[in-house]
């Protein structure tokens, strides 16, 4: 039986960053589609919709600084709803603030990575992330590269 490839959901308001992330993931072998949303409210609307709920496995790449609802607010709402416990959430940000990474990890994100890291390393981390295959939530220390 073939293992299902999770839907990758990208929450990124910056078109340039979104394009680089999608291109890098595709180049690294991630099959399309990578579903992209531009703000935190759009993410919540999708994952709580019938279409979003019927997706059996998904991984969320969540930018911290977004309009309407920021990534931390989205993380908090998803982690307060038990049905989203199995969904891996990777926080992506341009900041390298250790307090912010610790706060996100305490709130339940699985991984916290900087957009400023080398693109090959970024893609390798995402594609080798245990949540990329359907699995239970795992706890990771923040990656600061």
What the block records as the tokens of 83 is 């049905």
Reported as a single tens digit per residue, the pLDDT across 37-76 is 999 999 999 999 998 888 877 889 999 999 999 999 999 9
Region of residue 29 (left: phi > 0; alpha: psi -120 to 50; beta: else)? left
Reported as a single tens digit per residue, the pLDDT across 2-18 is 456 678 899 999 999 89
Say what the pLDDT of residue 42 is. Answer: 96
- Find where tokens 């496995």 sit: 57
Say what the pLDDT of residue 52 is. Answer: 87
Residue 94 lies in a domain: yes
| Cα dihedral 41, 38, 109, 99 sign | negative
**Distance from C-alpha of 109 to C-alpha of 141, rounded to nearest angstrom:** 10
- Find where tokens 């997706």 sit: 55
Spatial contact of 101 and 83, defined as CB atoms under 8 Å apart: no
Q: What is the CATH number of the domain that holds 108?
A: 3.40.50.2300
- Mean pLDDT, rounded, for 112-136: 64
Range of the domain at 117: 7-132
- Mean pLDDT, rounded, for 11-36: 83
Residue 143 lies in a domain: no
pLDDT band at 86 (very low <50, low <70, confident <90, very high): confident
Residue 47 lies in a domain: yes
Residue 128: is its pLDDT beyond 70?
no
In the chain, the number of structural domains is 1
Alpha helices in the chain (DSSP H): 15-27, 40-47, 50-54, 71-79, 98-107, 119-128
């Amino acid at each position: 039986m073939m293992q299902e490839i999770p839907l990758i959901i990208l929450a990124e308001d910056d078109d340039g960053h979104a394009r680089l992330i999608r291109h890098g993931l595709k180049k690294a072998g991630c099959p399309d589609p990578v579903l992209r949303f531009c703000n935190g409210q759009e993410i919540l609307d999708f994952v709580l919709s019938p279409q979003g709920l019927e997706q059996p496995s998904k991984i969320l790449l969540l930018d911290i600084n977004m309009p309407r609802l920021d990534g931390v607010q989205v993380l908090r709402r998803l982690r307060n709803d038990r049905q989203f416990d199995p969904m891996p959430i990777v926080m992506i940000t341009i900041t390298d603030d250790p307090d912010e990474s610790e706060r996100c990890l305490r709130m339940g994100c699985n991984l916290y990575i900087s957009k400023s890291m080398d693109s090959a390393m970024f893609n390798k981390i995402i594609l080798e992330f245990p949540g990329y295959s359907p699995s239970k939530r795992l706890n990771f220390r923040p990656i600061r590269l």
